[in-house]
Amino acid sequence: MGRYVLRRVLVSIPVLVLASVLVFVVVRSFGVDPARARCATSRDPACIERVRERLGLDRPLAAQYLDEMRGVLTGDWGQSLRSDRSVAAAIGDALAETAPLVGWAMLVSLVAAVVIGVSGARRPGSRRDHTYGALAIAGLAVPTFWLGLLVIQLFTYDLPRWLGLDDPVLYSVPDPTGRGAVAGFRELALPVLVLSVQLVAGWSRYQRAALIDELQTDHVRTARAKGLTERRVVWKHGLRGASTSLVTVVALDAGALIGGVVITERVFSRPGMGTLLVNSVRDGDTRILIPWLLVAGAVVVVANLVADIGYAWLDPRVRVTGERPA
């Protein structure tokens, strides 16, 4: 297992390097001049020239890339072109807002998807299975931004008014997080709900299909022949083999989740990574944009690395061959 993990880590390094090159080239291809963005208020040619020299923009593109990567690796990410704020501090504060949102969304979605997938796989073709399928299709079809607006309207305006909970005093009730009780619920629980809908819809269908196939395998038939209860057969013998497909899908959805976070944070006005990305693109702030994209790329690579390790733990054949069995 240790050698397999080491191989996967070594394979991830060139992927990160290639991602950094692509990010740098794409951002530089936007046509945004960082020096002009820094001197946007003055438009002074002398100011633009000074900033261009200070940022090393007068050097060859390869040298600029090496300087950028050297700064990223040493933690010297520079300052924002618009606010003079440390880029590392800006991304760190944004991550502190986004990480709990993504973490809870992943956890809630994974638990719900497994429960729904197992429930549907135990009785395929039943009324309950068809209901889950219809809800999954609806969940995949609903746009994230529209669902976010609908949830805000329902839970923060309509429902409190219907239940008589629209008293402003309720929003100032202290709770352990230091926020108002209802405000705290709205700030985290509702975005998690919006992010989780499409994840649960997709993951539950993958879990259902994989478990139905797994329950037809020889080792599951043997477990049934030994007289084990159906619950034990499903949860102990069937679920482990069926979870390998779900692990892969969860890792692949890491990139899609980043896109969902951008939309969700804008809808709920959360000052996280999504809001930081939108603001940096709007302002032409490449000093924030490049590290942001590198962090997002690293998250996707690490997610796939964790998926490979999880796959090897669930299916020992991967540790021997180094490849996922068909």
CA distances 181 to 23, 152, 170, 171, Å, are 41, 16, 7, 6
Cβ-based neighbour number of residue 45 at 10 Å: 9
Asked if residues 200 and 109 have their Cβ atoms less than 8 Å apart, the reply is yes
Structural domain that includes position 309 = 93-321
- Does residue 39 fall inside a structural domain? no
Mean pLDDT for the chain? 80
Whether residue 160 is predicted with pLDDT greater than 70 in this model: the reply is: no
Which pLDDT score is estimated for 172?
47
- Does residue 17 fall inside a structural domain? no
Work out the average pLDDT over 213-218: 85
- CATH number of 143's domain: 1.10.3720.10
Cβ-based neighbour number of residue 323 at 10 Å: 8
Say what the pTM is.
0.77
Asked if residues 12 and 4 have their Cβ atoms less than 8 Å apart, the reply is no
Work out the average pLDDT over 4-24: 87
Whether residue 247 is predicted with pLDDT greater than 90 in this model: the reply is: no
CA distance 219 to 235: 14
Whether residue 116 is predicted with pLDDT greater than 90 in this model: the reply is: yes
- Does residue 287 fall inside a structural domain? yes
Helix extents (H) in 163-285: 181-184, 190-214, 218-225, 230-232, 239-268, 273-283
Asked if residues 118 and 234 have their Cβ atoms less than 8 Å apart, the reply is yes
- Does residue 107 fall inside a structural domain? yes
Asked if residues 275 and 156 have their Cβ atoms less than 8 Å apart, the reply is no
Crossing angle of the two packed helices 273-283 and 286-314, in degrees rounded to 10: 140
Tokens 């083999």 map to which residue? 241
Crossing angle of the two packed helices 273-283 and 87-122, in degrees rounded to 10: 130
pLDDT, tens digit, for every residue of 66-96? 888 888 888 888 888 777 788 889 999 998 8
Cβ-based neighbour number of residue 295 at 10 Å: 15
CA distance 157 to 232: 45
- Does residue 115 fall inside a structural domain? yes
Output the six-digit token pair for 219.
């080792």
- Does residue 254 fall inside a structural domain? yes
CA distance 169 to 175: 13
CA distance 281 to 261: 16
Tokens 């300087």 map to which residue? 67
Whether residue 199 is predicted with pLDDT greater than 50 in this model: the reply is: yes
- Does residue 198 fall inside a structural domain? yes
Domain count within the chain: 1
Which pLDDT score is estimated for 171?
46
Closest CA to 42 of 54, 32, 31, 51: 51
Q: In angstroms, how far is the first alpha carbon of the chain from the final one?
A: 20
Name which residue leads in pLDDT, 13 or 316. 13
Cβ-based neighbour number of residue 34 at 10 Å: 21
- Does residue 158 fall inside a structural domain? yes
